[in-house]
Structure 1
Amino acid sequence: MVESDVGPVTDMDARLFGVDCWPRQLFMDELAAPKTRRYIVAEAPAAPGGGDGGTTIVGYAGLMCVPPVADIQTIGVLPEFEGRGIARAMMVELIGEARRRGALDMLLEVSSTNPRAQDLYRRFGFEHIHTRRRYYRDGSDGLVMRLTLAGAADPEPDTKDPS
C-alpha cells in the first residue's frame, strides 16, 4: 500500500466496517511506520468503461510486527470479490512477512459476528484464545485468535477455501 491507496482503502473500510472503520489519518500513520508495519492491497482490473482501463483496489490488509509478536491490524475484501482467494492470498503474504520479521506468534481480533473470517483464520491454524466482550462499537465481541509460527509449516490452507 502506498499513500495514493489510502483514499480508496479508507472508503472501502467504511463500506466494510461501518462504525468500526478506521479514519484516513490512522492509515496514514500506519504507513509512516514501515519498521514495524506492512500494508498491502489486492487489485483487480477496473470495470469496463471505468476510465483508464487500469486496476481497482478490491482488498487490503495490514500487519504490525514487533518480534516476537505480529498482529494482523486489518483485512478486508469487497463483498463482490469474496470467494476468489483474495483474503487467503493476503493472509499468506502477512504470515510470510511476520516470519521474515522474526515473529514467533501472530495475533488478530475478529468480530464474533463474522463467521466467514473466523473460518478462514482457523484454516490457517489460528486458535481462539480470548474473548473481549463488547469490543467493537456495534456491541459485538472481539475474538482474539493466535497462530504459533515457531515450528509451524508454511501456510497452505485447504485449496477448496472459497475466500
Structure 2
Amino acid sequence: MATTGIPAFQAEIREMHPDDLEQVIRIEHEIFLFPWSIVNFSDSIKAGYHCRVLVQPNSDLVMGYGILMTGPGEAHVLTLGVGAAWQSQGLGRKMLRYLIELSRKHQAEFVLLDVRESNTGAINLYQRLGFQQIAVRKGYYPAMCGREDALVMKLEL
C-alpha cells in the first residue's frame, strides 16, 4: 500500500486534477473527523483556487494536498492535509511553504488560516513558520460534542 520514508525534498507538488480527488478524499476521511466532501474539492478546482497535491516522485500517488484562495492583497489557506502514513516527515511544512511562496507571487501582504484549537501539531507547525494567532472563531468547527473554536492565524509577508 503506502510507502513511507519519502523525504520531503523528494516529494513533488503539482496542480490538483479531478482524477486526484479519489485519493484526496481518502486522505481527507483518514485524517479529519469532519472531512470536506468531494464536491468541496471539485468546486475549489472549478473556482480557480490554487489546488495542489504532494505526490511521490515519478508517480501519481497523492500523499497530501493544499488549497489556497488569493484575493487583493491577501491569501487564505482553506485546507491542508497529509496522509497518516506520511505525517511527521516534513511534507506539511513543504506544502505550507509552497503555499506561502505562491501567496507572495500573487502579491499577498499576508496569509490567513483557521485551525482547530485542539490541533496542536498543526498550530506548532504554523507558529514555527511565523504565523501568529490574531483571533478566535467561537464554535466554528463541528465537533463530536457540539462545536469547537477555531484559531485564526496570520503570517505577514
TM-score range, shorter chain: 0.7 to 0.9
Match of 1:155 in 2: none
Q: In the TM superposition, what is the alpha-carbon distance from 1:11 to its structure 2 partner?
A: 2.0
Structure 2 residue aligned with 1:42: 54
- Which residue in 1 is equivalent to 2:41? 27
- The higher radius of gyration belongs to 1
Which structure 2 residue ranges, 5 or more long, are not aligned?
1-15
Residue by residue, what CA displacement relative to the aligned partner does 1:11-44 show, whole Å, maximum 9, x if unpaired? 211221122x11111111110122xx11111123
Q: Compare the two structures and name the one with the higher strand fraction.
A: 2
Question: What per-residue deviation string (whole Å, max 9, x for no partner) do you get for residues 61-101 of structure 1?
Answer: 11000021100000011122111110111011100111111
**Equivalent position to 2:103, from 87, 98, 103:** 98
Aligned twin of 1:12: 27
- Whole-Å separation in 1 of the counterparts to 2:134 and 2:60: 38
Hey, which bits of structure 1, 4+ residues long, moved more than 2 A?
none
Residue 84 (structure 1) aligned with residue 89 (structure 2): yes
CA distance in 2, matches of 1:134, 1:111: 10
CA distance in 1, matches of 2:111, 2:88: 24
Q: 1:1-163 residue pairs with structure 2 within 5 A?
A: 1-19=16-34, 21-34=35-48, 37-44=49-56, 54-138=59-143, 139-149=147-157
TM-score, with normalisation over the residues of structure 1?
0.81
Aligned letter for 1:118?
I
Q: Secondary structure, in 3 states, of the residue corresponding to 1:103?
A: coil
Give the distance between the partners of 1:24 and 1:83, measured in 2 at CA. 25
SS at match of 2:36: coil
- Are 2:30 and 2:84, in contact at CA under 8 Å, matched by a contact in 1? no
